[in-house]
Amino acid sequence: MATFTYLEAVRQALWDEMENDERVFMLGQDIGTYGGAFRVTAGFLDRFGPGRIVDTPISESAMVGCAIGAAMMGMRPVVEMQFIDFISCAFNQIVNFAAPNHYRWGQQVPLVVRGPAGGNVHGSVYHSQNPESYFHHTPGLKIVAPGTVADAYGLLKAAIRDPNPVLYFEHKYLYRRLKDELPATGTSEGLVPLGKARLARAGRDLSVITWGAMLHVALEAAGRLEAEGIDLEVLDLRTLKPLDQEAILATVRKTSRVIVLSEEQVTGSVAGEVAARISQDAFAWLDGPVHRLCCPDTPVPYSPTLEEAYLPNVDKLVAKVRELSAY
């Protein structure tokens, strides 16, 4: 088995799907000759040519608009946002056109919009956002946020094969920090189904529900708390839309105490939606309030010291677990 970084897993998934299906092509800024801002597509232009690796102007709305048209004509475009923050420039195309097309007249839009999200890299407000909650309200979209190497590979393959639009948020902090083995790669290997959460760690005392880079915060906190006799269960949602309601309720029934851990600003967050579902559908199993550990309602700071204070981390999660365990 070969070892891949998180970034290499994304790259390998794109490569495999382009080899597998000639309808798959990519659009984005500097993805061709330069190979992408994070070098995800280095070498793709030489292999697949300018007809399938399309360098675009700096216009996210144009990129997504072209991709929607291509998808409606039977292609399977993958749009790279150089930083996911700028997906907001294509908000109208995604929300008002790509997402509802299947509902409007049965027209599928097999489109993937992917790019680097998240903070902890000192990128400040324009290069550190987690925009999942902006789109979580929109019917017709799927939203994916992998937190492992295997999921970065398998979920992207599944997203490209999905018949309707998928937003795929890669956490840039994990790109070169996370390494693991992929048991198999290739055209028919390693698929991870959309809409299915993964139990990352079984436990008995308290559940942490999370996704993306926060998965590793939860797992590190679980290791620290084990020495105190607190056994955390960690559920990795992987797909944020649709949410795996069955997995969420199952972990609540098991432990009766829940923290939803997320790198979003707290107000209007996906974490809030998860907490609301638990309160509505699993209230009888709860032995304490559902807690959210998210970011404050401010822009992402540039200063490393301020960003550290802004983001959820292991110390904050450990303190929150102790508080809820003692409730």
What integer is the mean pLDDT of 264-276? 98
- List CB contacts of 326: < 8 A, sequence separation 6 or more: none
Judge if 161 and 270 occupy the same domain. Answer: no
Residues above pLDDT 90, as percent of the chain: 95
Contact 167, 142 (CB under 8 A): yes
190 found inside a domain:
no
274 has a pLDDT exceeding 80:
yes
Q: Which residue shows structure tokens 């393959």?
A: 157
What integer is the mean pLDDT of 197-216? 98
What integer is the mean pLDDT of 49-67? 97
89 found inside a domain:
yes
Active site residue 102: no
CATH at residue 313: 3.40.50.920
Give me the pLDDT at residue 184, please. 76
237 has a pLDDT exceeding 90:
yes
98 found inside a domain:
yes
Collapsed DSSP state (helix, strand, coil) of residue 94: helix
Distances in whole angstroms, Cα of residue 299 to Cα of each of 95, 177, 303, 308, 311: 23, 25, 12, 13, 11
Q: Tell me which of 2 and 279 has the higher pLDDT.
A: 279
12 has a pLDDT exceeding 90:
yes
Which of 151, 182, 213 delimits the end of a domain? 182
Judge if 174 and 203 occupy the same domain. Answer: no
CA-CA distance, 146 to 158, in Å (whole number)? 12
CA-CA distance, 88 to 128, in Å (whole number)? 13
What integer is the mean pLDDT of 196-208? 98
310 has a pLDDT exceeding 90:
yes
Contact 190, 182 (CB under 8 A): yes
264 found inside a domain:
yes
Give me the pLDDT at residue 217, please. 98
319 has a pLDDT exceeding 90:
yes
14 found inside a domain:
yes
Contact 277, 251 (CB under 8 A): no
Mean pLDDT estimate for the chain? 96
191 found inside a domain:
no
Which of 153, 182, 211 delimits the end of a domain? 182
| Residue 183: pLDDT band with limits 50, 70, 90 | confident
CATH at residue 88: 3.40.50.970
| Residue 185: pLDDT band with limits 50, 70, 90 | confident
Judge if 65 and 134 occupy the same domain. Answer: yes
Judge if 151 and 219 occupy the same domain. Answer: no
Judge if 95 and 237 occupy the same domain. Answer: no
What integer is the mean pLDDT of 10-19? 97
Range of the domain at 95: 2-182
Judge if 153 and 231 occupy the same domain. Answer: no
Which pTM value belongs to this model? 0.96
Give me the pLDDT at residue 189, please. 79
Judge if 226 and 97 occupy the same domain. Answer: no
What integer is the mean pLDDT of 145-157? 97
Judge if 110 and 21 occupy the same domain. Answer: yes
Count of domains for the chain: 2
> Which residues in 81-216 belong to E strands, given as ranges?
112-117, 142-144, 166-171, 179-182, 198-201, 206-210
Judge if 251 and 119 occupy the same domain. Answer: no
Sign of the Cα torsion 204, 209, 210, 214 reads negative
Residues above pLDDT 70, as percent of the chain: 100
188 has a pLDDT exceeding 80:
no
Per-residue pLDDT tens for 214-236?
999 999 999 999 999 999 999 99
Which of 182, 210, 226 delimits the end of a domain? 182
281 found inside a domain:
yes
Judge if 79 and 147 occupy the same domain. Answer: yes
Judge if 212 and 296 occupy the same domain. Answer: yes
Judge if 19 and 163 occupy the same domain. Answer: yes
What integer is the mean pLDDT of 102-128? 95
Give me the pLDDT at residue 264, please. 97
187 found inside a domain:
no
| Residue 186: pLDDT band with limits 50, 70, 90 | confident
Give me the pLDDT at residue 2, please. 85
How many CB atoms are located within 10 Å of the residue 93 CB? 23
| Residue 322: pLDDT band with limits 50, 70, 90 | very high
The residue from 122, 127, 137, 216 that is catalytic is 127
